[in-house]
């Protein structure tokens, strides 16, 4: 498909996608309202009348996102050449950008990340990243406009078309293979993602510094790292974060919360 055809195809589906998303927002709002642990996520698949498979993920890092969840919208398109992914960088009806990840991109990603099979689970993980996307534009020798997208553990390289409304991401380069100027851009994207992790830690009540002894700090740090890892798992792989795992995690939280509470009591008594 040409950039013009991709632009038309994604925008033709947009009204149906956003209409259902607005309906699902009501359900998601109730879920966030009742939630006692964050982040909260909901993902669903939508097949449009044009027979495109779209995936919409809504994420709330805290109750502050109850009315404005972080949203990811993308389509997985099967072709004779492999999987294409069309991602809508904004869900604003008047300012939509389509980012297209070509099959070669996933081939390179699989190769450079040591993944045997680039399954849909890998695609979902890439597309459901937390936080804003960072991009950098530059001129190419052929006269076109190049684009660099900061992704987890590397950068995606491609070209931009139609006044920056369609971006074709052709290949992937891991952090270890980057040049100095590329590393600077990657670090910029990394700093933004780290901001979201810090916000997530804040929402989860995870503190960076502790006032207790070194041994107690170590126990607490491991506990909070565990909470953060489960937060990432719940966000990036909701399909395996089932009710049984939820109960097990809750039981662990109760035990560790009790231990931390005892540490705090002991620390207070010595002051």
Q: Write the CA distances from 261 to 149, 168, 247, integer angstroms.
A: 43, 52, 21
- pTM strictly above 0.85: no
Peptide bond into 187 cis (omega under 30): no
- Rounded Cα distance, 69 and 58, in Å: 6
pLDDT by residue, tens only, the chain of 271 residues: 776 777 787 788 888 888 898 899 999 999 999 998 988 989 999 998 888 899 998 888 888 888 888 888 999 988 887 888 988 876 556 677 888 898 888 888 888 777 776 678 788 877 876 554 566 666 666 667 888 887 766 778 888 886 667 888 888 877 665 555 544 544 544 443 443 444 444 444 444 443 444 445 565 566 666 666 666 555 555 555 555 555 555 556 555 555 556 556 555 555 5
């Amino acid at each position: 498909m040409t950039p013009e055809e991709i632009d038309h195809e994604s925008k033709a589906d947009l009204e149906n996608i956003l209409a259902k998303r607005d309906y699902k927002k009501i359900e998601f709002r109730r879920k966030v309202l009742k939630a006692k642990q964050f982040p909260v996520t909901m993902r669903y698949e939508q097949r449009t009348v044009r027979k495109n498979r779209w995936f919409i993920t809504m994420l709330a890092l805290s109750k502050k996102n109850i009315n404005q969840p972080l949203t990811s919208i993308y389509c997985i398109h099967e072709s004779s050449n492999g999987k294409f992914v069309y991602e809508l960088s904004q869900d604003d009806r008047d300012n939509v950008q389509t980012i297209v990840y070509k099959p070669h991109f996933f081939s390179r990603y699989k190769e450079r990340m040591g993944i045997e099979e680039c399954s849909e689970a890998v695609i979902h993980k890439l597309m459901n990243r937390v936080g804003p996307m960072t991009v950098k534009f530059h001129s190419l020798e052929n006269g076109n406009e190049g684009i660099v997208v900061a992704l987890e553990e590397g950068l995606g390289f491609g070209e931009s078309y139609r006044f920056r409304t369609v971006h074709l991401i052709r290949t992937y380069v891991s952090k270890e293979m980057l040049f100095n100027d590329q590393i600077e851009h990657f670090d910029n994207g990394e700093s933004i993602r780290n901001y979201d992790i810090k916000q997530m830690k804040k929402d989860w009540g995870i503190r960076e510094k502790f006032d207790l002894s070194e041994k107690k700090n170590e126990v607490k740090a491991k506990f909070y790292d565990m909470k953060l890892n489960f937060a990432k798992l719940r966000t990036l792989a909701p399909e395996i974060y089932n009710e049984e795992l939820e109960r097990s995690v809750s039981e662990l939280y109760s035990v560790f919360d009790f231990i931390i509470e005892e540490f705090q009591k002991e620390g207070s008594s010595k002051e």
